[in-house]
A and B are shown apart, each in its own frame.
Chain A
Amino acid sequence: MTIQKMSYAEAVLTALNDSMIADDSVSLIGRPFSLGPTRVLAKKLKEKFPTRVCEPPTSEAANAAVGAGAAMAGARPFVDLGTGAFSFLAFSQIVNEAAVCNYMSGGKLRAPVVYHVNHGVRGAGAPQHSHDMHAYVWNTPGLQVILPATPNDAYGLVRSALTNPNPTFIMSHFKQATMMGDVELGVSIPFGKADVKRTGTDVTIIAVSLMVHAALEAAEQLATRGISAEVVDVRSLSPLDEDTLLQSIEKTGRVIVVDESPLHGGVSSGIAGVLADRGFKYLKAPIRRVGRPNTPVPASGPMEEYLVPGPQHILEAVASIL
Chain B
Amino acid sequence: MLDLDSKWRYFSNMLLVRRFEEELIALYKTGKFSGHFHVCIGQEATAAIAMDLLAQRDHITTTHRNHGHMLARGVSEKIALAEILGREAGMNSGYAGSFHLTAPELGFLSTSGIVGGAISLGVGGAYACKQRGDQSVTMALFGDGALEEGVSFESLNLASLWKLPLVFVCENNDATLWTPSGTLSKEHAVSDLCDLPRLCGIATKSVAGLDLNELNSTFTLAIEHCRSGAGPFFIEVKTARWPGNRTQWPEPVTGRTDLNMALGRQTIPDEDREWFEVNDPVLKIARQLANEPAGDSKLLEIDIAITRRMEVAVEFALSSPYPNARKALDHVFA
Interface residues of A in 72-93 (CB under 8 A from B): 85-86, 89
Please tell me if the beta carbons of A298 and B187 are within 8 angstroms of each other in the complex. no
Q: For A36, list chain B residues within 8 Å (CB).
A: 248
CB-nearest residue of chain A to B95: A298
Would you call A55 an interface residue if the criterion is a C-beta within 8 Å of the partner chain's C-beta atoms?
yes
Total chain A interface residues with beta-carbon distance under 8 A: 34
Contact of A299 among B97, B112, B115, B325 (CB under 8 A): B97
Complex CA–CA separation, A25 to B166 (angstroms): 46
A59 contacts partner chain B, Cβ-Cβ < 8 Å: yes
Q: Which residue of A lies closest to B185 (CB)?
A: A57
Contact of B248 among A39, A62, A304, A307 (CB under 8 A): A39
Contact with B along A48-64 (1 / 0, CB 8 A): 00000001011111100
Closest to A306 in B: B325
Interface secondary structure of B, over-half rule: loop
Which candidate, B2-10, B43-51, B144-152, B207-215, is the interface stretch facing chain A? B144-152
Q: Are B99 and A128 in contact (CB under 8 A)?
A: yes
- Does A223 sit at the interface, judged by CB under 8 A? no
Q: Which of chain B's residues have a CB closer than 8 A to the CB of A165? A: none
Q: Which of B283-334 contact A (CB under 8 A)?
A: 322-329, 332
- What's the nearest-Cβ distance from chain A to residue B331, in Å? 9
A312 part of interface (Cβ distance < 8 Å): no
Q: Distance (Å) between the CB of A118 and the closest chain B CB?
A: 13
Q: Given known contacts A57-B187, A85-B114, A296-B332, is B325 in contact with A305 (CB within 8 Å)?
A: yes
Q: Is the CB of A59 within 8 A of B99?
A: no
The answer to whether A86 touches B187, judged by C-beta atoms less than 8 angstroms apart, is no
Interface: A320 (CB within 8 A): no
Q: CB-CB < 8 A to A305: which residues of B?
A: 325
Cβ-defined contact, B329 with A301, below 8 A: no
By the criterion CB–CB under 8 Å, are B151 and A129 in contact?
no
- A300: CB under 8 A from chain B? yes
Which residues of the partner chain B approach A123 to less than 8 Å between Cβ atoms? 34-35
CA distance A294 to B188 in the complex (A): 39
Distance A35 CA – B322 CA, assembled complex (angstroms): 27
Given the interface contacts A298-B94, A298-B328, A299-B96, does A89 sit within 8 Å of B151 by beta carbon? yes
- Cα–Cα, bound, A36→B35 (Å): 11
Q: How far is the CB of A270 from chain B (nearest CB, A)?
A: 22
Asked whether B265 is an interface residue with its Cβ less than 8 Å from the other chain, the reply is: no
- CB-CB under 8 A from A299, the residues of chain B are 35, 86, 94-100
Name A residues whose Cβ lies closer than 8 Å to a Cβ of B: 35-36, 39, 55, 57-62, 85-86, 89, 123-129, 293-296, 298-307
User: Which residues of B does A touch, CB under 8 Å?
Assistant: 33-36, 86-87, 90, 94-100, 112-116, 145-146, 148-151, 186-188, 248, 322-329, 332
Q: Can you list 8 residue pairs at the A/B interface with Cβ under 8 Å?
A: A57-B187, A59-B148, A86-B114, A295-B332, A296-B332, A299-B100, A301-B322, A302-B324
7 A-B pairs besides A299-B35, A300-B95 with CB distance below 8 A are A58-B149, A85-B114, A89-B149, A89-B150, A126-B100, A300-B87, A300-B90
State the 5 A-B residue pairs at the shortest beta-carbon distance, nearest first: A124-B35, A299-B97, A300-B94, A300-B86, A306-B325
